[in-house]
Structures are given as C-alpha cells and as structure tokens.
Amino acid sequence: MREKEQGSARKTKLGRPKVAEDIQKLALRLHEETGDGYTLLGGLLKRLGYNISRLTIRNILNAAGHDPQPRRDADSWDALLQRHADVIWQCDFLVKPQWAITSMKDLFQLLFIHIGTRRIWISPATNNTDANWMSQHAKFFLQHCDDVELKHTIIMRDNDGKFKKGFDEVLEAGKCYLKKNTPKSPNLNAFVERAVQIYEHECLDQFIVISLRQLNVIGREFQA
C-alpha cells in the first residue's frame, strides 16, 4: 500500500507547467510598452532568456484582457502612410522580356505610384538602366508631378542596384526626401509592388513584346 502511495506521488502532472508570475508580468509590461503582439513578444522574451511559446503568450494576454494582436496606434506604419499619403510616392522597377529571332533580352520600366490618389506614372522603357537614363527619368517624373499638380515630398524605394546615385541626386535636388527601405521589408513598399503586379498580370502578360516602342505604347495606355 505504501509503495502504491509513493508511486502515485512520483507521477508527473499532465499539461504544461504554469508560467511563473514574474514572467507573466514581464510579458504584460512589454506588451503595454511596445504594443507588440504575441509573436514579437515571444522574440523579445527569448532574447531575455525566457523561451515561451506564442500560444502561451497569447493566453497570458487574453487572460489579462489585452488584445494579443499588435497595437495599431497613431505611430504605426499604416497610420504614418495615411497621414502623409498626399505627399508620398513609391517606385520600383519592372522587367519585360523582348523577343527577337535570335535572342531575348530584358526591357526595364520604372513605375511610380502616388499613395493618396493611387495614380501611377510609368517611364519609357530601356534595355540599359545606366546613370544617364536614371537621372533623365527622375527629371521626367518630377515634371510629371508638376503637370498633374501632385506633391512629391517623399519618395520611397528599395535597395535595387539599378537605382543609381544620379537618380537620388536629381530627386533630392527637386526637394524630395528619399526613403530607402530596409532590406527584406517588402511590406514597406507594398503599394508599388501591388501596382507592378497588376500591371504585369493584367496587361503585360497579354503581350509578346518585340520592341521598345511597343512596350512604351502599352505603358502609356495602361496609365491613361
């Protein structure tokens, strides 16, 4: 009988062990201070030496009456874009193959989108995005903004190597603040990436391009 009781005492309790109260308080404090959701909080706690699952952190936040999702307050990226949408443009490259009898080569265009109005400007195409071409089309873009009376205070772009120094200098001379997005952050340039995707899938994919002139006509018709 005594052996049976001792065996019962040695049985391991089922389920996850309860998270210490001080760790729960730390998770809640970090959430209140940063506004991070349970995924980012898990990373913060891990760096502090506490390896706690996302589900556990979510349960801690829920039990305390907190929303486990990231807080979308006035300082969020989405809110920042909305506040300044009338002065922000995003830009990116798109590539379309040019078919020929003996070979195939890539043609490039620049696409700009105005965040506030969703109006776009597509540059004439080229097969060589050298410094002269980039500088020239930065000037064309600024002229377009003046023509359509849209502000261009902030220009956002990624770190593509085709963006030459002269391109940035022309925009900065035109009183633009150039915002280069951090690497591996596609969401920061989401508007232009979506615009490029629509242009490619709904328009360019319907054509076999055989000349620069043809691609230029397609671009003008799409943005009209």
Which residues have a Cβ under 8 Å from the Cβ of 30 and sit 6 or more positions away?
36, 41, 44, 45
The whole-model pTM stands at 0.67
Tell me whether residue 160 is in a domain. yes
pLDDT (mean) for 28-52 = 78
On whether both 196 and 113 belong to a single domain, the answer is yes
On whether both 217 and 146 belong to a single domain, the answer is yes
> How many domains are there within the chain?
2
Q: How confident is the model at residue 69 (pLDDT cuts 50, 70, 90)?
A: confident
What is the per-residue pLDDT for 81? 80
CB-CB contact of 155 with 91 (8 Å): yes
CB-CB contact of 70 with 40 (8 Å): yes
pLDDT above 70: residue 128: yes
pLDDT above 80: residue 34: no
Tell me whether residue 37 is in a domain. yes
Q: Is the dihedral of CA 27, 33, 35, 40 positive or negative?
A: negative
Tell me whether residue 188 is in a domain. yes
